[in-house]
Chains A and B, each alone.
Chain A
């Protein structure tokens, strides 16, 4: 599958941007107006853009608003992990939630049992072929925005057991962070979770959907 990315100039045809003259604020307002569908005045008109190109155009110009960054900050500091442990890595996950390497320091101690209430699934352990469709179903039941951490070598990359019975987790669901180790120390798991937190805080749109050009594939309750 071909993914072509190009920087859009103000005319939308790849020519270098001459937006130096217009102030940033005006540009932002224009872009927002364009999204809303109303006509805009001024020299930088790009009314022929549609769909994903339009969104990309807007994204180039609209810096994350204060509201967006506030929401991203709140989301990143209150992951609700799904209480999901498969094998040995689950023991180290317990230790990450334990008294020494306390996950509650960061605000992530609310392990939810139900996938509908969780937004972070930590695949702790090896994924067998019998379990893979069930994990996929759990992941589908989670509501947007959701993230996935693949903890340990077995689910990231088959680990010690590269054989008929296991499936790497990337094969059936998108993963945001892989944490290596067999099992990874609780500190390593925290490092992985904090990396995810940084990803959500600073660059909320560079999740896998943007990188992989799959924006628009989010499930909404009305789709089903």
Chain B
């Protein structure tokens, strides 16, 4: 992990793209401007972080901007990890897709789209991956209800139905 000073140096290099740096429990995180995410990731790749371990979403309800996309990068030669987060607001949830530079992002961006509603511009095939194609709503947002059903067994169905009336 880049230590705290390494993180600050890195942030300085990225310039105005960095909105915030967080060094928590010995892990470095950069919060960047979503409009420049692709350039930021390319810069980090030249610094050695050539493996994208994970791309996932997080909902910061009720703070705005609400929807965050988290990129976990790994430098295999130095065993170094860094996290990059880009937050987009709910009314403009667009962010550029990085699938061209990082092919591993394909399914993972589709999952973030499916679960949170973040639209990745430039993605080759942006459609729902886990929920049925015609599902409405984005389940993992914090204000989406958990759902669930009461369970009726076949042999109890008559009893349950008459209970309802």
Residues of A at the B interface (CB closer than 8 Å) are 1, 3, 129-130, 156-158, 162-165, 167-168, 170-171, 174-175, 178, 208, 211-212
Contacts and interface: CB of A to CB of B under 8 A. Distances in A.
B164 interface: no
A130 B154 contact: no
Contacts of B131: 129-130, 165
B45 to A, nearest CB: 36
B53 interface: no
Interface stretch (B58-66, B69-77, B140-148): B140-148
A214 to B, nearest CB: 10
A208 B153 CA distance: 11
Given A158-B148, A163-B148, A164-B148, A1 B153 contact: no
B158 A162 contact: no
A129 B139 CA distance: 13
B161 A167 contact: no
B132 interface: yes
Given A1-B158, A130-B131, A164-B139, A170 B147 contact: no
A167 B152 contact: no
Given A1-B161, A130-B131, A162 B149 contact: yes
Given A1-B161, A130-B131, A208 B154 contact: yes
Interface in B104-127: none
Contacts of B153: 156-157, 170, 175, 178
26 contacts: A1-B161, A130-B131, A130-B132, A156-B153, A157-B151, A158-B148, A162-B146, A163-B146, A163-B147, A163-B148, A164-B144, A164-B147, A164-B148, A165-B131, A167-B149, A168-B151, A170-B151, A170-B152, A170-B153, A171-B149, A174-B154, A175-B153, A175-B154, A178-B153, A208-B154, A212-B157
Nearest to A211: B155
Interface residues on B, range: 10 to 19
Contacts of B158: 1, 3
Contacts of A168: 149, 151-152
B74 to A, nearest CB: 30
A36 B162 CA distance: 38
A164 B145 contact: yes
A63 B71 CA distance: 71
A163 B144 CA distance: 11
A211 B157 CA distance: 11
B132 A129 contact: yes
B135 to A, nearest CB: 8
A179 to B, nearest CB: 13
Contacts of B154: 170, 174-175, 208, 212
Contacts of A171: 149, 152
B151 A165 contact: no
Nearest to A159: B151
Nearest to A176: B154
B155 to A, nearest CB: 6
A3 B159 CA distance: 11
Contacts of A164: 139, 144-148
B159 to A, nearest CB: 11
